[in-house]
Amino acid sequence: MTERIECQTPGCSATILPATAAKTGGYCMPCHQEQQREEQRIFIEQNRKEVDLYEEITDPVEVLRIMHTSRRYDPLIEYVPYPLNREQLYTALSLEEAERMQAYALELLEAGDEDTATEILASLVCYSGKLLDNCWLELMEQNVYNPAILFKDAPPSIRNLLLEKVEIHSGNRNPLLLALAWIGDEAVVQQFLEWRRAAPEWAQELYVTPERYAQEAGWELTAAGERRDLFARKNYAMERMDAPLEAGDQASEAFVTVSHQQCPWCGGQLTTLVELQKGHPALKEIAWDGERLAVDTCVICGSYSVIYMEVDPAGTPFWSKHNQRPDYLPDINLDDYGQDYLAAGPLLSTAESPRNTYHSAVWGIDPIVSQIGGHPSWVQDAEYPVCPCCSHTMSFIAQLDWGQLEEYGEGIYYMFSCAKDRITATLYQQS
């Protein structure tokens, strides 16, 4: 039997074969690999260089072009970040600068870089509210329909082309219907109504009826055949501060606080996700009559099911009799769930001024997703709950990105209301 040799690392009890010792200098393989990693770390630390790609560049279009350019990771290069992020740059673009970014996106599209091109175009639509008037034909030529918001408010000529294509292009029917929903003009509303009254043969290939695609663009076809928007136009970001605001500055709002009620399903304390007092700018845009609007939910059970709350005339929410515990809800051990997220509540505040209505409509491009009003950021498909009293689709109120509350937080809580029946609802989508 070959005699084994002790590893030379102090405190290491491993033994190695002589052949291994000859290769590693007397160290076991884990210790040898650790030495190599440490040597590499020291080498990188001593030789890493800072590279400022934005040095002396003041043109925001050129800055954005650099930001959108992918670079292979090099441990010996540390790139100096630009002082502004993409969102800040896009929202400050002039009309001429936005046109230049659009032209650049078309260049990328023609060169085959569809992902970067659509990311730029979606940023222009969501952040700047730009209509992509010179892009629609090229997008259709390239069969690019995702994200469908790129076709928002396109003119009748584009709408008519899409209506023609939806009848014959079965492979693109889903994105074509979504694009039509984002146009959403009177002709689209009437066409959706006609499809409701007499479903086309191809409708059986869909997972939902054609008119349901409208919800992806934030509206629905009512029973009377009219368009009804499902969200408030003004969009107030929920921003996270470095320190809590003064008490007087928070008098009209509160976020992520402990409710006075317990969840009948798991026994945990309910959480008030959003509370707005009468006179709050964001509340003025929401169809809600009362001194305040408070949206409660169980952040544990609410990730499994829609949670309804009924609101009394004073604005106090209480557990709705319409809630139905889902069969798949597991047994909850409250000790498995922390409440660290509550610490972030006092740090949240609504922005002083509203941003673009569709600022966060495309999930994944916006670093600040939490908001009151505006079009929701659906992680998955649009999912507007139905009021359990009147059976009408509930209106979107707000959304809270759990990533803004906890370091490893995931998913978004969405909030809705039915003003007529004074009911709120929450649902969760996992990111």
Q: pLDDT value at position 247?
A: 62
- Residues 412 and 396: beta-carbon distance below 8 Å: no
Q: Is the separation of the CB atoms in 27 and 35 below 8 Å?
A: yes
Neighbours of 143 (CB within 10 A): 13
pLDDT on residue 170? 85
Confidence of residue 431 (pLDDT cuts 50, 70, 90): confident
- Predicted confidence at residue 249, as pLDDT, reads 56
Question: What single-letter DSSP state applies at residue 175?
Answer: H
Query: Between vectors from CA 213 to CA 422 and to CA 374, what angle results, nearest 5°?
Result: 50
The pLDDT, as a whole number, for residue 125 is 97
Which range among 27-41, 79-93, 329-343, 380-394 shows the weakest confidence by mean pLDDT? 329-343
d(CA 328, CA 162): 41
238-to-11, 84, 331 alpha-carbon distances in Å = 52, 19, 33
Mean pLDDT value of segment 66-79: 93
For residues 421 and 308, give the distance between their C-alpha atoms in angstroms, rounded to a whole number: 12
Of all helices (H) and strands (E), which one includes residue 180? helix 173-183
* Residue 127 in tokens: 């952040």
pLDDT at 283: 86
Q: Taking 90 as the threshold, does the pLDDT of residue 243 lie above it?
A: no
Of residues 288 and 378, more confidence is placed in 378
Q: What's the pLDDT at 98?
A: 96
Query: Are 308 and 270 within 8 A, CB to CB?
Result: no
Q: H or E element: which one contains 400?
A: strand 395-401
- On whether the CB atoms of residues 118 and 126 are closer than 8 A, the answer is no
| Residues 303 and 417: beta-carbon distance below 8 Å | no
Rounded to the nearest integer, the mean pLDDT of the chain is: 93
Dihedral Cα 399, 400, 404, 410, nearest 10 deg: -100
Over range 287-300, report the average pLDDT: 91
Q: What is the pLDDT of residue 289?
A: 84
- Residue 39 tokens read as 């040597």
Predicted pLDDT at 1: 59
Whether the model clears a pTM of 0.95, i.e. scores above it, the answer is no
Mean pLDDT value across residues 150-175: 95
Average pLDDT, integer, range 332-351: 91
In the predicted model, what is the mean pLDDT of residues 334-362? 93
Check: CB of residue 231 under 8 Å from CB of residue 218: yes
Q: How far apart are CA 289 and CA 114, in angstroms?
A: 46
Q: Calculate mean pLDDT across residues 16-26.
A: 91
- 150 has pLDDT over 70: yes
> For 68-155, where are the alpha helices, taking DSSP H only?
86-91, 95-110, 114-128, 136-141
Pair of tokens at residue 104:
């650049």
The answer to whether the beta carbons of residues 427 and 414 sit under 8 Å apart is: yes
Q: Which two tokens stand for residue 100?
A: 């230049």
Place of tokens 């043109």: 59
**Average pLDDT score over residue span 388-397:** 97
User: pLDDT above 90 covers what percent of the chain?
Assistant: 83
Q: 203-213: buried (b, 16+ CB within 10 Å) or exposed (e) per residue? A: eeeeeeebbbb
pLDDT digits (tens, 9 = 90+) for 196-242: 999 999 999 999 999 999 999 999 999 999 999 999 999 999 998 88
The pLDDT value recorded for residue 250 is 58
Q: Which of 379, 381, 417 is nearest to 398 (CA)?
A: 417
The alpha carbon of 171 is separated from its chain's Cα centroid by a whole number of angstroms, namely 27
Q: Residue 300 contacts by C-beta under 8 Å, 6 or more apart in sequence?
A: 263, 266, 268, 332, 334, 337
- Angle formed by the axes of helices 95-110 and 114-128, to 10°? 160
Average pLDDT over residues 329-335: 89
**pLDDT top residue among 370 and 284:** 370
Averaged pLDDT, 241-259: 80
Residue bearing the bigger pLDDT, 250 or 329 = 329
Q: CA 180, CA 221: separation in Å to the nearest integer?
A: 13
From the list 312, 72, 365, 348, the residue with the least C-alpha distance to 236 is: 348
